[in-house]
Structure 1
Amino acid sequence: MANTLHETKEVLVGRAERQMREHFGDSELTTRQKLALTCRILFDGGHDSGLAGQITARGTEPGTYYTQRLGLGFDEITEDNLLLVDEDLTVQEGAGMPNPANRFHSWIYRARPDVNCVIHTHALHTAALAMLEVPLVVSQMDTTPLYDDCAFLKDWPGVPVGNEEGEIISAALGDKRAVLLAHHGQLVTGGTVEEACNLAILIERAARLQLLAMSAGTIQPLPPEQAREAHDWTSTDRRNQANFAYYARRALRNHPDCVREGTAL
């Protein structure tokens, strides 16, 4: 006999959130391991563009963050070959040099204490949408974590290796979690590596959906109240952890070398 068929949506949502807190706990993966897995996840998800793009996460010491070594593709990143750099991009741990374009990450971390991971890539569909100089339009349920949470930088500042680009990009991002960079690509942020990884997957899917929809007709907007509800429902820590765990298991099947043997997911 069913006991919940007459309960309100508010009650059902509350119960589901409690159950997620009970069933999905914090990961035991290190930041290095999460970052290496994220590189492989995004490589498989169409974010590969040669050596372009950077994936970073704050280190334990203030003003430091982990990033990949210039010269390695996303599919070559492991927990052991990541670099730890400071805000001047001076290597603190590891061998090799970081991508000089990492400089604008330093600006974002300074401007946003809530951000612990930054992902910038030139994924195919986000890059194609960026060529049109139009903002990202979120009009489908799966991509609502980005609803009213993706800024737009219309004017391309050029190669992002100077402090000017750091100021421009961090200002364009503002208090949102993502920004579409015209003639460039996408950037997402997260309070955790898991959150940023999930948003990176979603922004590329959203761009692909938008291009497909634009080719077929006029995109219709989501009702704002329902869209905000969906944004909040799909943006919790537990959902981010569950989504990331799935992506990580899939990536590890394809790339068992990215973390040390015996790592538990």
Structure 2
Amino acid sequence: MAKTLALPKEQLVKHALSQMQNTLADNTWNTRQKLALTCRILFEHGHDSGLAGQITARGPQPGTYYTQQLGLGFDEITAGNLLLVNEDLEVLEGHGMPNPANRFHSWVYRARADVNCIIHTHPTHVAALSMLEVPLQISHMDLCPLYDDCALLEGWPGVPVGNEEGELIAGALGDKRAILLSHHGQLSTGGTVEEACVIAQLIERAAKLQLLAMSAGTIKPIIPELGREAHDWIARPKRHAAAFNYYARQILRQHADCLN
């Protein structure tokens, strides 16, 4: 006989969270491997734009972070060819040079002690939406980890290789997890590589759904308290890790070399 059909939602949520915490397995990849996996995941899910975009994660010492070499596409990144750089973009480990646009990552890391990974890409639907200078509209349950958690930079400051752009982007991001950059692309952050990867995946899907919905009619908003509830329910470390692990299993069937 069923024992839970009369339980209130609050109690069912608490039970489910406990189950997730005790059941969903963590992965054992190191930071370099997670970054390489993230590059391949994003490549396969529409974030590839030639050599545009940077993916970084904090390094072993303050003021350092890992990033990819300029000249390599996301599908060519491995754990072994990543660079370790400092805030001046000087290479501390590895060979080659980082993308000069990595400079604004330093400003975000300085402003946000809670951020350990930054993903900046120019995926098709995000790029298209960015041309309209309109906010990302979260009006579907699956997208709620971004509910009231995605900022908008309305103006385009130009090529982001100067310190001015770093200050502007970090300031516009504020305390949000992500930001839509007008006439540019997106920036997603996370306390973990896994979280940043999942947020980046989500913002491109959100942009695609928004463009589809806008072409059909007027997007109807969801009730704010329900949006916040769904945000807090989905946007949890265990959920992000489980989603990342799923994406990684998919990718490793074709991109097993990225862990080398």
TM-score bucket (shorter structure): over 0.9
Gaps of 5+ in 2: none
Query: Which residue does 2:137 correspond to in 1?
Result: 137
- Rounded to whole Å, the distance in 1 between the matches of 2:25 and 2:111 is 30
- Rounded to whole Å, the distance in 2 between the matches of 1:60 and 1:3 is 49
- Rounded to whole Å, the distance in 2 between the matches of 1:97 and 1:159 is 18
Q: TM-score, with normalisation over the residues of structure 1?
A: 0.97
1:231 and 2:231 are equivalent in the alignment: yes
Query: Which residue does 1:4 correspond to in 2?
Result: 4
- Rounded to whole Å, the distance in 1 between the matches of 2:253 and 2:16 is 30
Q: Number of residue pairs matched?
A: 260
Give the deviation of 1:74 after TM superposition.
Answer: 0.3
Query: Which residue does 2:250 correspond to in 1?
Result: 250
* SS at structure 2 position matched to 1:258: helix
Query: Which residue does 2:104 correspond to in 1?
Result: 104
* SS at structure 1 position matched to 2:159: coil
Q: Structure 2 counterpart of 1:239, which letter?
A: R
Q: Counterparts of 1:182-193 in structure 2 under 5 Å?
A: 182-193=182-193
* SS at structure 1 position matched to 2:61: coil
- Rounded to whole Å, the distance in 1 between the matches of 2:252 and 2:93 is 25
Query: Which residue does 1:128 correspond to in 2?
Result: 128
Query: Which residue does 2:208 correspond to in 1?
Result: 208
Q: Deviations over 1:44-66 (max 9, x none)?
A: 01000000000000011110000
* SS at structure 2 position matched to 1:219: coil
Runs (4+) of structure 1 exceeding 6 A deviation are: none
Query: Which residue does 1:263 correspond to in 2?
Result: none
Q: Structure 2 counterpart of 1:83, which letter?
A: L
Query: Which residue does 2:178 correspond to in 1?
Result: 178
Q: Deviations over 1:42-91 (max 9, x none)?
A: 00010000000000000111100000000000000000000000000000
Give the deviation of 1:27 after TM superposition.
Answer: 2.1
Query: Which residue does 2:15 correspond to in 1?
Result: 15
Give the deviation of 1:256 after TM superposition.
Answer: 1.2
- Rounded to whole Å, the distance in 2 between the matches of 1:192 and 1:51 is 24
Q: TM-score, with normalisation over the residues of structure 2?
A: 0.99
Q: Counterparts of 1:68-79 in structure 2 under 5 Å?
A: 68-79=68-79
* SS at structure 2 position matched to 1:225: helix
Query: Which residue does 1:67 correspond to in 2?
Result: 67
* SS at structure 2 position matched to 1:189: strand
Q: Counterparts of 1:144-159 in structure 2 under 5 Å?
A: 144-159=144-159
- Rounded to whole Å, the distance in 2 between the matches of 1:243 and 1:15 is 20
* SS at structure 2 position matched to 1:250: helix
- Rounded to whole Å, the distance in 1 between the matches of 2:2 and 2:242 is 28
The alignment's C-alpha RMSD in Å is 0.6
Q: Deviations over 1:144-178 (max 9, x none)?
A: 00000000000100000000000000000000000
Identity within the alignment, %: 72
* SS at structure 1 position matched to 2:45: helix
Q: Deviations over 1:209-229 (max 9, x none)?
A: 000000000000010011000
